[in-house]
Amino acid sequence: MKQTVRVTVNGRLYEEEVEPRQLLSYFLRETIGLTGTHIGCIIGECGACTVQVNGTLVKSCLMFAVQANGKEVTTIEGLAEGDALHPVQEAFINNYGFQCGYCTPGMIMAADSLLKKNPNPSEEEIREGLAGNLCMCTGYVQIVAAVKEAAGQVDNG
């Protein structure tokens, strides 16, 4: 039996009828059309589908859409303000923090979450903070450099 969910995504309220077994990742991509959130392994290991729910970093493939009922979700599409990219996005561009780009949305969401909690992380803290996000191109050096550059620029208020 379908359930009604009311979820605010990037500031906009969506009310949708969904099957309870629908994963939040598919809800975002297929039900409301926000394809910035990528689906990689779909068993919770790669982190490509990482989003923020009520400000907390989560893997959207390890959550049913019904569990997001009444909550606020931020996806990669919700970071930029108009044409102004988010500081973490700018830093990923400046440092070539991506190769194929598949892991990038999850990496950026994780980096943003890390910097909100810890505005000036050490390299070890950056690597630990991104441990749930895999880059199959192994472009970690540039990704860590990007997070270092963005450090101190993320509004943690």
Partner 1 sequence: MIPGAFDYHAPASLEEALSLLSANVDDAKVLAGGQSLLPLMKLRLAKPEVIIDIGGLAELNYIREDGDHIAIGALATYTDLAESELILDRCPLLAQAAVVVGDVQVRNRGTVGGGLAHADPAEDLPAAVLALDAEIKAAGPDGERWIPASEFFITMLTTSLMPEELLTEIRVPARDGYKSSYQKASRQAAGFAIVGVATCLKESADGTCEDIAIGVTGVGDVAYRAEQVEAALRGRKLDDSAIAGAAALVTGGVDPIEDVNATPTYRAHLARVYVERTIQAARAE
- Site for partner 1, rule CB under 8 A: 1, 3, 19-21, 23, 42-44, 47, 50, 56-59, 61-64, 66-67, 69, 110, 113-114, 127-129, 131-132
Minimum separation from the CB atom of position 23 to partner 1 (A)? 8
Minimum separation from the CB atom of position 70 to partner 1 (A)? 8
* Interatomic CA distance for residues 88 and 94, integer angstroms: 10
- The secondary structure of 108-142 as a DSSP string is HHHHHHHHHH-SS--HHHHHHHTTT---TT--HHH
Taking the least distance from each CB to partner 1, the nearer of 20 and 94 is: 20
Nearest to 142, CA basis, from 86, 114, 103 = 103
Minimum separation from the CB atom of position 80 to partner 1 (A)? 22
Taking the least distance from each CB to partner 1, the nearer of 50 and 75 is: 50
Taking the least distance from each CB to partner 1, the nearer of 59 and 86 is: 59
Taking the least distance from each CB to partner 1, the nearer of 127 and 148 is: 127
The pair of three-digit structure tokens given for residue 32, joined into one six-digit string: 């409301």
Minimum separation from the CB atom of position 49 to partner 1 (A)? 10
* Interatomic CA distance for residues 58 and 109, integer angstroms: 9
* Interatomic CA distance for residues 128 and 55, integer angstroms: 19
